[in-house]
A and B are shown apart, each in its own frame.
Chain A
């Protein structure tokens, strides 16, 4: 059950804004593709195209060599693509189990009497969340009353449960504690081992680097770089995610603030970042760029 998702010269515009410009990349099964980039770079736009939320304005997406045009996320789900959206796509007023199965409800019985298999659904949610280390006290609890991390875990558990061939995660670890973030990283590796194609979006290089096989850097709607893990060190990745120059500016600002307020902590923080940036600049000599995205 392998899958290959080819994104070919895809663009997306929102009025005057170009959210994604001539983007191309190949996502293979058994691999974790990390999409990295600043806020507003177009990462979520990319995953929304892949999940069928909206079609691209130009270019095409191919799954296993066949051009697909998802009219709705339902089409993508049918292809076995499970997605954790950045906004989680949860309905606060609905219960945990109803949210988990919304759109893909388990039923029993024949047509006029076909009805929800509620007991099974509730048990499954409790089990799946339990696997993530989250104890659901009552599957009837409304999602609006869950904590931010619990809600995010629920969205991840749902995507993992329904994503049979591909798993797309848009900043899934943003609200998570260290333990749950670790669980999510393990899930990603497990999904990859099962032969799923995984797309992982994060702002945290310490999360991206250990699990990623393939890194696509987005900058202002365009591909800045497309690397295999072998071509990239963690330091280099960190530098690219932060943008070396921007960091130097930050150091200056922090130093200025430190002298103004006389805060020792701020000065120390500025020094720390300065050291790191200098370290990164030294590494720049060993930079391999690979602009040939298939």
Chain B
């Protein structure tokens, strides 16, 4: 063994053993991890209620649903595309489900299945439009955003005369799906946190340990090159768009079961929060680089800052200042990382 290592060192004296620290440094989520620790330290110092069970539950609660979306949007971004309709899809799948079951009296599971099918359809629509027209997904999904928003508000108002569909709690069979999507299994901690962790772990595994994950990096890095070496580019992108819409449906169900009602305004404007969380987590806006764990940490930072500001007794308006600063820092770090990875020679 010693002989062997001596031979390799002799073979190329530039051989440098990369330390564990250096490896960690080169991970896309490294910056966000440092940021998360900094934010945690800061608010634990500012507000003594921050590090209590209640404080943590309040941090994790909004982080979880945001995180599920940020991870999905992050994977899509690594695959080189955006989905601006992800936010309104949360509200649209929720109201659709609520209308079908609370208003039209459909079986609760059937209503869930139909709204899920709708989410899959919208994902396919976004994907096909982007692939067929070759327009930037930013524009295509911006169109989808407004189409869905308009149709959702219009239809809901037409049917219920309001913009909120209530009475989901009275639908037969409410209890079991409530347990799956919205219960508090441990103290104040919601089951959504479990979903968040499971979805992040699953996305990480797919991204780093499967062929499909390799294709995601490939199509986001250079779609033409990826196609040239045999990656099914269209399939990969389609699946990513569907994954984002289905995640929106999942979060839509979580919201609806928790509140026992659905509002058309849910998720409006959140599409940028998903993207920002993914960028804070190290996903490149230009695609081809990033991580699912990073996007989840980005969402956690979001939750911590939002809750920390409240617990520190500050006006919640300061949240946006924080957000802007964090986004800029993250984008700068990402740019340096990208430059290093693409140009710098060891």
A residues at B contact (CB < 8 Å): 51, 53, 72-74, 77, 83, 85, 87-94, 98, 101-105, 107, 114-116, 118, 135, 137-138, 141-142, 144-145, 147, 158
Contacts and interface: CB of A to CB of B under 8 A. Distances in A.
* Most A C-beta atoms less than 10 A away, residue of B15, B289, B341, B342: B341
A135 B217 contact: no
B232 A102 contact: no
Contacts of B44: none
Contacts, number: 106
Contacts of A92: 221-222, 341-342
B225 A87 contact: yes
Contacts of A103: 215, 218, 226, 229-231
B228 to A, nearest CB: 4
B227 A72 contact: yes
In order of increasing CB-CB distance, the 10 nearest A-B pairs are: A103-B230, A91-B221, A105-B211, A89-B228, A144-B342, A89-B225, A74-B230, A103-B229, A115-B209, A77-B230
A144 B341 contact: yes
A104 B232 CA distance: 11
Main secondary structure of the interface of A (DSSP, over half): loop
B16 A137 contact: yes
Contacts of B213: 116
A93 B230 contact: no
Contacts of A51: 228
Contacts of A137: 12, 14-16, 346
A135 B343 CA distance: 20
Nearest to B346: A145
A60 B37 CA distance: 62
Given A141-B346, A145-B346, A53 B209 contact: no
Nearest to B222: A91
Nearest to B211: A105
A77 B227 CA distance: 11
B8 to A, nearest CB: 8
Given A73-B230, A102-B229, 11 more contacts: A89-B222, A89-B224, A89-B228, A90-B222, A101-B214, A103-B218, A137-B14, A141-B346, A142-B342, A144-B341, A158-B229
Nearest to A137: B15
Nearest to B210: A115
B209 A116 contact: yes
B226 A91 contact: yes
B16 A145 contact: no
A91 B210 contact: no
B216 to A, nearest CB: 11
B67 interface: no
Nearest to A90: B225
A94 B217 contact: yes
Interface residues of B, number: 36
A116 B210 contact: yes
B217 A98 contact: yes
* Most B C-beta atoms less than 10 A away, residue of A77, A98, A102: A102
13 contacts: A77-B229, A91-B217, A94-B218, A102-B218, A102-B229, A105-B210, A114-B211, A137-B16, A138-B18, A141-B346, A142-B342, A144-B343, A147-B345
A60 B232 CA distance: 24
A158 B338 CA distance: 25
Given A98-B217, A135-B12, A53 B345 contact: no
B211 A107 contact: yes
A116 B341 contact: no
B211 A116 contact: yes
Contact of B210 (A94, A104, A114): A114
A93 B232 contact: no
A91 B220 CA distance: 9
Contacts of A114: 210-211
Nearest to A104: B230
A137 B345 CA distance: 13
A91 B288 contact: yes
Interface in B1-38: 11-12, 14-16, 18
B344 interface: yes
Contact of B229 (A73, A118, A142): A73
* Most A C-beta atoms less than 10 A away, residue of B214, B218, B226, B231: B214
A79 B291 CA distance: 34
Nearest to B11: A135
Contacts of A90: 222, 225
A144 B340 CA distance: 9
Nearest to B341: A142
